[in-house]
Amino acid sequence: MIKVIDFIHTNRDRYVSELKDYLAIPSISALPEHQGDVRRCAEWTAEEMTRVGLENVKLVETPGNPVVYGDWLHAEGAPTILFYGHYDVQPVDPLDLWETPPFEASVRDGEIYARGSADDKGQVFMHFKAIEAHMKQHGKLPVNLRVIIEGEEEVGSKNLDNFIKANKDTLGADVVVISDSAMFDRGVPSICYGLRGLTYFQIDVRGTNSDLHSGIFGGSVANPAMVLAQMLAKMRDTSGRIRVPGFYDDVRELTQAERDEWKKLPWSDKRYMKELGAPKLFGETGFTTLERRWGRPTLEVNGMLSGFTGEGAKTVLPAVAMAKVSMRLVPDQHPDKIADLFEAYVKELAPKTVEVKVTRMHGGKPWMADFDNTYVRAAGRAIEQGFGKTPVFCREGGSIPVVATFQEELGIPSVLFGVGLPDENAHAPNEKLDLDNFHNGIVASAILYEEIGSRR
Ligand code: BES
Ligand code: ZN
Residue 25 sits in which domain range? 2-195+366-453
The pLDDT value given to residue 336: 97
Which band of pLDDT confidence, cut at 50, 70 and 90, is reported for residue 455?
confident
For residues 160 and 56, membership in a common domain is answered with yes
Q: What is the dihedral of CA 48, 52, 56, 58, to 10 degrees?
A: -10
- Residues in a beta bridge with 199: 327, 363
For residues 244 and 388, membership in a common domain is answered with no
Pick the last residue of a domain from 344, 364, 384: 364
Determine, yes or no, domain membership for 415. Answer: yes
> Among 48, 71, 88, 185, which one carries the catalytic annotation?
88
In tens, the pLDDT along 54-95 reads: 999 999 999 999 999 999 999 999 999 999 999 999 999 999
Tell me the average pLDDT across 149-166.
94
Nearest-atom index, ligand 1, CA of 155 = 18
Nearest-atom index, ligand 1, CA of 399 = 21
The pLDDT value given to residue 53: 98
For residues 422 and 314, membership in a common domain is answered with no
Question: Measured in angstroms, how far is the CA atom of residue 86 from the centroid of ligand 2?
Answer: 7
For residues 309 and 393, membership in a common domain is answered with no
| pLDDT, averaged across the chain | 97
Closest by CA to 85, choosing from 160, 12, 31, is 160
The pLDDT value given to residue 372: 79
CA atoms lying within 13 Å on the CB side of residue 229: 8
Residue 153 bears catalytic tag: yes
Determine, yes or no, domain membership for 272. Answer: no
Sign of the CA dihedral running 23, 28, 29, 35: negative
For residues 398 and 335, membership in a common domain is answered with no
- What is the rounded CA–CA span in Å between residue 27 and residue 40? 8
Cβ–ligand 1 contact at 150 (below 6 Å): no
Cβ–ligand 1 contact at 153 (below 6 Å): yes
- What is the rounded CA–CA span in Å between residue 393 and residue 383? 12
pLDDT surpassing 90 at residue 169: no
> Are the C-beta atoms of residues 353 and 207 closer than 8 Å to each other?
yes
The CATH number linked to 239 is 3.30.70.360
The pLDDT value given to residue 295: 98
Determine, yes or no, domain membership for 259. Answer: no
- The reply to whether omega before 94 is within 30° of 0 (cis) is yes
Closest by CA to 184, choosing from 111, 252, 262, is 262
Closest ligand to Cα 197: 1
Cβ–ligand 1 contact at 416 (below 6 Å): no
Tell me the average pLDDT across 153-171.
92
Which residue CA neighbors atom 4 of ligand 1 most closely? 398
> Among 153, 154, 396, 450, which one carries the catalytic annotation?
153
For residues 342 and 419, membership in a common domain is answered with no
pLDDT surpassing 80 at residue 154: yes
Determine, yes or no, domain membership for 219. Answer: yes
Cβ–ligand 1 contact at 363 (below 6 Å): no
For residues 173 and 242, membership in a common domain is answered with no
Angle at 284 between CA 229 and CA 346, to 5 degrees: 35
Pick the last residue of a domain from 338, 364, 390: 364
Determine, yes or no, domain membership for 260. Answer: no
Question: Measured in angstroms, how far is the CA atom of residue 120 from the centroid of ligand 2?
Answer: 5
Question: Measured in angstroms, how far is the CA atom of residue 397 from the centroid of ligand 1?
Answer: 8
Residues with Cβ within 8 Å of 36's Cβ and at least 6 positions away in sequence, in order, are none
Cβ–ligand 1 contact at 198 (below 6 Å): yes
The pLDDT value given to residue 373: 87
Question: Measured in angstroms, how far is the CA atom of residue 427 from the centroid of ligand 1?
Answer: 9
Question: Measured in angstroms, how far is the CA atom of residue 329 from the centroid of ligand 1?
Answer: 13
- The reply to whether omega before 332 is within 30° of 0 (cis) is yes
Residue 450 bears catalytic tag: no
Question: Measured in angstroms, how far is the CA atom of residue 323 from the centroid of ligand 2?
Answer: 24
Tell me the average pLDDT across 303-307.
97
For residues 150 and 133, membership in a common domain is answered with yes
The pLDDT value given to residue 184: 97
Cβ–ligand 1 contact at 450 (below 6 Å): no
In tens, the pLDDT along 352-393 reads: 999 999 999 999 999 999 877 899 999 999 999 999 999 999
Hey, how many other C-beta atoms are within 10 angstroms of the C-beta on 227? 20
Angle between helix axes 374-387 and 435-453 (nearest 10 degrees) is: 140
- Residues in a beta bridge with 201: 325, 360
In tens, the pLDDT along 274-283 reads: 999 999 999 9
Buried b (16+ CB within 10 A) or exposed e, 345-356: bbeebbeeebeb
Angle at 436 between CA 435 and CA 439, to 5 degrees: 85
Which residue CA neighbors atom 9 of ligand 1 most closely? 181
For residues 240 and 93, membership in a common domain is answered with no
Cβ–ligand 1 contact at 368 (below 6 Å): no
Closest ligand to Cα 124: 2
Cβ–ligand 1 contact at 85 (below 6 Å): no
What's this model's pTM, rounded to 2 decimal places?
0.94
Cβ–ligand 1 contact at 197 (below 6 Å): no
Which residue CA neighbors atom 1 of ligand 1 most closely? 180
Q: What distance lies between CA 204 and its chain's CA centroid?
A: 26
Closest ligand to Cα 394: 1
For residues 209 and 304, membership in a common domain is answered with yes
Q: How many domains does the chain divide into?
A: 2
Determine, yes or no, domain membership for 262. Answer: no
- What is the rounded CA–CA span in Å between residue 37 and residue 41? 6
For residues 147 and 79, membership in a common domain is answered with yes
Amino acid, res. 254: L
Counting residues of the chain whose pLDDT is more than 70, the rounded percentage is 100
Question: Measured in angstroms, how far is the CA atom of residue 426 from the centroid of ligand 2?
Answer: 8
> Are the C-beta atoms of residues 377 and 369 closer than 8 Å to each other?
no
The CATH number linked to 439 is 3.40.630.10
In tens, the pLDDT along 395-454 reads: 999 999 999 999 999 999 999 999 999 999 999 999 999 999 999 999 999 999 999 999
- The reply to whether omega before 6 is within 30° of 0 (cis) is no
Nearest-atom index, ligand 1, CA of 427 = 13
Determine, yes or no, domain membership for 444. Answer: yes
pLDDT surpassing 80 at residue 456: no
Pick the last residue of a domain from 329, 364, 399: 364
For residues 39 and 116, membership in a common domain is answered with yes
Mutate to test the pocket of ligand 1, among 154, 179, 327 (most ligand atoms within 8 A of CB): 154
The pLDDT value given to residue 399: 96
